[in-house]
Structure 1
């Protein structure tokens, strides 16, 4: 089961410790810009790995492990954005709501991807918390429904990746 509180906790710990350990300092809103750029690239990686738009590739073989890894990195990007914008209260999603998301029908992946990008840029340009809520839920739906990733696999891989990174930092 996906626990958004636990995901946020791990993401916060990682993103708090990493700059201090590496002695990084950011000017102005550079960190905010970096977090949006990171999200944009992460969304592109998920689309590239899943390959739904690659109609020209007759031999497309999706690496499910890479897809899960790219998806988890994208999820962290969205959680990091909540930290940067101080929208962490929007991350709390009840198990029943996640269950509802997982029962939605498959949507058009092209529209879904472009919608995610639009919501991300609305967050950046308009500081839209409403778009952030939709971005997070829509991304969760992408993983659970369109990409058919199991909630336990997402949670387990996120824990594995970020606990390992946190251990390396400390």
Structure 2
């Protein structure tokens, strides 16, 4: 089985557990043994698939009693979590990162599927094509920042 499929399997396993509990605490070494992979593979999955832009908070403690805690953020009722996503956004945002953020907002029913598609159209490479990839990423970051600010404001009013 290739690494991509194994990463998908690890992600699926963790998400199944998260469906039953709002947060999970795992030991990296034990999870690596379960899937017969090196611990760095677990780190890769956590870093790329369970990050703030995907709607998760991750906390880790290293050492003998170390663990990784993954918390599924409830964006809908928590304006501070929208602010957390906003704070985590880099100054230059790729379309892939933008898609992750917008997908999380849609999954949490903060945005409708239609709204998400419209926003992603506005954040696309084609729309923001200004001849400079860095400027394109900066524009995308500013647009996402504004969207998150507005959503945060709306969630505080509700």
Alignment TM-score, normalising by the size of structure 2 = 0.33
* Higher percent of residues as strand: 2
Highest CA radius of gyration, 1 or 2?
2
* Higher percent of residues as helix: 1
Q: Which has the higher contact order (CA 8 A, sep 6+)?
A: 1
